[in-house]
Amino acid sequence: MCGITGIVSKDRDNIGEVLVRCSRKLTYRGYDSVGVAAVRNGQVDLRKDVGTIDVVDKLLNLSGMKGDRGIAQLRWATYGAPTKANAQPHYGCTADFYGAHNGNLHNYAEYRAELIEAGHIVRSENDGELCVHAVDKYYEETGDMFEAVRLSTRDLKGAFAYAVGKADEPEIYAVKMGSSLVAGVAEGDTIVSSDLPSVLPLTSRVVYLQDGEMVVLTHDDVKVYRVDDGKQLDRQPEISNVDAHAAEKGGYPHFMLKEINEQPTVAQDVLGVLNGRECDNWLRMIEDSSRKYLVACGSSYNAGIVGTYFFNRLAGVSVVPVIGGQFGPMYGNTLDEDTLCMLVSQSGETKDIMNVLNLVKGISKGKTLGVVNVIGSTLMFQADDYVPMACGYEVSVPATKTYFSQSVIFAYLAAKLGERNGFLDPSESKRFVNLLETELPALTQKTIDKTGILTKNLARTLVDVKDLYCLGYGFTDGVAREGALKIKEICYNHCEGMYSSEFKHGPLSIVTEDYPVIFVTTPEDSWMVINHINEVKARHGRTIVVGEFEDSLNHYVDNKIDYLVVPRSDPLLNPLLDVIPLQMLSYYLSVDLGINPDLPRNLSKTLTVD
Ligand code: BG6
C-alpha cells in the first residue's frame, strides 16, 4: 500500500515544501521509496529515490522543489522491487504527463506488454507507471485531459487510486477505484490524498470520495465527477473534526507509546459513541442472521477472536472468526441471504477485507456490518452499516488503540445482544455495560501505569531471545495472539501465539532449559492454565505470566520480573486489560533492540494489495 498526495496552489512557488510537509503524515503508508513531481511554468521537475521521506528529502532536496502544483508518493513495494526506477511518481512517454498511484493493477503484465507494443516508453517494473501511460494514451486519442483520465480507468483492472497531471495544464486529476482517496479545499490550495492526516495540515474542509469517482483540482476548488459517464456530482466540503495533532507525537518518543496511552480515552470515547447511537440495527443484523462471520486481518483478527468469546459468553451466539483471505475459499459458497459478515478493519481499506465485501455485495447474498475507524473509508461507505471505532487516527504501524477499541466494541455489543435475545439477564447486561463505562477507563490507565516499569525490566531480559511462544486460553486466546503479533511486528523475533491447551500437542517439543513461554490468563481460567504452565516448567522452560496476581500462579515464575501483574477487576474486564502489558513489552523490547516501533521494516499500516 502507498500514499499519494496532489496539491494545486494559487500563489505558491514552494510546492515541494508543502507536498513534503503533508506527505510526511502518510509515512505509515510506505517508506520503501519517496518521490515528488513539481510543476513550474509548464516544466515538471521529478525527483525520487529509495528510503523514507526524510532520507530522500535530504538526498534530493524535495522540500526545495519549486512550482505551484505537484504530486508526491510514498511507496510500499508490491509490483517491482523498492528501487529508484520503480519509485513513484512516474512520467508518461514524455515529461508531459506525471502521476502516481496507490493499490494494485491486476492486469499489470498484459497491459504493460500492450503499451510497449503500442510504442509507449515504459521505464519501470512498477504498476503505477501504467496509470500515467493510460492517461497519455487517451490524451493522444481525445486531446482532452478530463476525458483522457476518465477513459484511462477502462484499461486498468484491480483496486487502486491515482493522481495525474499534464505539465502545461493547471489541473491535477485523481481517480478512486478501490483504494482510499480524500480531497480538501484550503485558502488558495486544493489537495487530494490517500488519507486524511496529509490533508489536515492544509485544511479541515474535506471532500470524501467514493469508488468510481474522479476529482479535478484547480487552485480554488475541487469538483467531483462520476467516472462512468463524466457527470458532475454535487459533493460539498464538510468539516473534519479529526484533530490534526492526532498525527503528532504529543511528547511521546513514538506514536505507538502515545497510542497505548490513549487507550483509557479510547474506552471512554468509543463507549460514549456506542451509548449515544441506536445499536438496534447492528444488533438486529447480528440476531437475524443464521450464520455470522467475523472477518478481519492482523490485530483486527485477534480482536475478533476476543469478540467471539464475548458473543458466546454474554449472548450465547456463535460468531465464526475468519482471516480475510480465508473467507472466500473457506466459506464463499455457503453465503446466503441469512449470512452476516462483520468486516473488522480499522483502516476500512484492507484489500483482503474489500475482497470479502465485494464478494458478498457481488452475489447480493448476505449482509455486511463494518467495524471501522477511518471515516470516509471504502468500508464505511460500502458496508450495509458500520460501527464506528471512534479512536482517532492510529499512526503507528502496529495496532494498539484500534485493537483495544474493537475489543471494547465486541464486549459492549455482546452484552447488548445477550439482553436483547434473553440469554443474559438485563440486570447483568446493565451491570457489565456500566462497568465498561465507569471502571474500564480508569482500570486501563492503572494497568498502563502499573505495568510500565514491569515491562521495561522484563524487556531487557529478552533482548537476546529470538524465539518464544505466547499462549492464551479462553478469553485470552485472542489476547495472546495479539501479544505474539506485536513481538513479531516490531521486535523481528519469532513469537508464535496459540491456544495453551494445544501447546502439548507438538510445539512443546521446542522447550529446553530457559526457553521462554508467556502465558496470558484470566482468574477464571488460571486453574486450567496452571496445567499448561506445569508442562513447560517440568521441562525447565521459563514461564512468564500475564494476569492478575494469584499465589498459585506466582509459584511458577522463577523471579518477580516474569510476572506482569495487572490490577484486579471484574473477570469480564480482565481480558480487555491483559493486552496492555503485552503491547508495552513489545514496545520496550523493540526500543531496546534499536528498532523504531512506529515503522517496522517490510510492514505497512494499511495493505490495499492482495
Ligand atoms: C496490517 C497492519 O497491515 O493490517 C496491522 O500492520 C493491522 O496493524 C492489519 O492490524 C489489518 O488492518 P485493518 O486496517 O484492516 O484493521
Q: Which three cell numbers stand for residue 474?
A: 479462553
Report the distance separating Cα 291 and Cα 220, nearest Å: 50
Q: Which three cell numbers stand for residue 498?
A: 496459540
What is the pLDDT, as a whole number, of residue 132?
Answer: 97
Residues forming CATH 3.40.50.10490 domain(s) in the chain: 252-438, 446-601
Mean pLDDT of all residues in the chain? Answer: 94
Asked if residue 286 lies in contact with residue 279, where contact means CB atoms within 8 angstroms, the answer is no
Centre a 10 Å sphere on the Cβ of residue 297 and count the other Cβ atoms it contains: 20
Closest ligand 1 atom to 296 CA = 15
Average pLDDT over residues 155-164: 93
Taking the centre of ligand 1 as the mean of its atom positions, its distance from the CA of residue 403, in whole angstroms, is: 10
Average pLDDT over residues 141-145: 97
Taking the centre of ligand 1 as the mean of its atom positions, its distance from the CA of residue 473, in whole angstroms, is: 24
Report the distance separating Cα 381 and Cα 271, nearest Å: 22
Closest ligand 1 atom to 297 CA = 11
* Domain over 252-438 is classified CATH 3.40.50.10490: yes
Return the H-helix or E-strand segment holding 4: strand 3-9
**Paired strand residues for 293:** 320, 341
Residues belonging to the active site? 2, 605
* Residues 330-367 pLDDT 10s: 999 999 999 999 999 999 999 999 999 999 998 888 99
CATH number of 3-247: 3.60.20.10
Closest ligand 1 atom to 353 CA = 15
Residues in Cβ contact with 278 at an 8 Å cutoff, skipping those fewer than 6 apart: none
* Residues 574-597 pLDDT 10s: 999 999 999 999 999 999 999 999
Residues forming CATH 3.60.20.10 domain(s) in the chain: 3-247
Closest ligand 1 atom to 402 CA = 16
What is the pLDDT, as a whole number, of residue 105?
Answer: 87
Q: Which residues line ligand 1 (CB under 6 A)?
A: 297-300, 345-347, 350, 353, 397-399, 603-607
Return the H-helix or E-strand segment holding 359: helix 351-362
Evaluate if residue 247 carries a pLDDT over 70: no
Asked if residue 95 lies in contact with residue 141, where contact means CB atoms within 8 angstroms, the answer is no
- Give Cα separations from 450 to 442, 445, 546, 568 (angstroms): 12, 9, 12, 11
Q: Classify domain 446-601 at the CATH topology level.
A: Rossmann fold (3.40.50)
The values of phi and psi at residue 35, to 5°, are -155, 160
CA angle 557/578/485 to nearest 5° reads 95
Scan for cell 485531459, then name that residue: 145
DSSP 8-state symbol, 223: E
Q: How confident is the model at residue 246 (pLDDT cuts 50, 70, 90)?
A: low
Asked if residue 343 lies in contact with residue 353, where contact means CB atoms within 8 angstroms, the answer is yes
Sign of the dihedral defined by the CA atoms of residues 570, 574, 575, 580, in that order: positive
Q: Which three cell numbers stand for residue 278?
A: 441506536
What is the pLDDT, as a whole number, of residue 273?
Answer: 82
Asked if residue 149 lies in contact with residue 117, where contact means CB atoms within 8 angstroms, the answer is no
Could you give the residue ranges of the DSSP H alpha helices within 461-578? 477-491, 526-537, 551-554, 574-577
DSSP 8-state symbol, 521: -
* Residues 97-139 pLDDT 10s: 999 999 888 899 999 999 999 999 999 999 999 999 999 999 9
Evaluate if residue 248 carries a pLDDT over 70: no
What is the pLDDT, as a whole number, of residue 274?
Answer: 86
Of residues 78 and 388, which shows the higher confidence score?
A: 388
Helix %, strand %, coil % of the chain (to 5): 45, 25, 35
What is the pLDDT, as a whole number, of residue 86?
Answer: 93
Taking the centre of ligand 1 as the mean of its atom positions, its distance from the CA of residue 378, in whole angstroms, is: 15
Average pLDDT over residues 521-526: 95
Return the H-helix or E-strand segment holding 465: none
Strands 182-185 and 205-208: antiparallel
Taking the centre of ligand 1 as the mean of its atom positions, its distance from the CA of residue 258, in whole angstroms, is: 18
Scan for cell 515504459, then name that residue: 122
Report the distance separating Cα 32 and Cα 52, nearest Å: 6
What is the pLDDT, as a whole number, of residue 1?
Answer: 63
Residues in Cβ contact with 478 at an 8 Å cutoff, skipping those fewer than 6 apart: 302, 303, 304, 305, 306, 307, 308, 309, 407, 472
What is the pLDDT, as a whole number, of residue 406?
Answer: 98
Asked if residue 379 lies in contact with residue 400, where contact means CB atoms within 8 angstroms, the answer is no
* Residues 397-456 pLDDT 10s: 999 999 999 999 999 999 999 999 999 999 999 999 999 999 999 999 999 999 999 999
Asked if residue 444 lies in contact with residue 263, where contact means CB atoms within 8 angstroms, the answer is yes
Residue from 300, 407, 608 whose mutation best tests the ligand 1 pocket (most atoms within 8 A of CB): 300
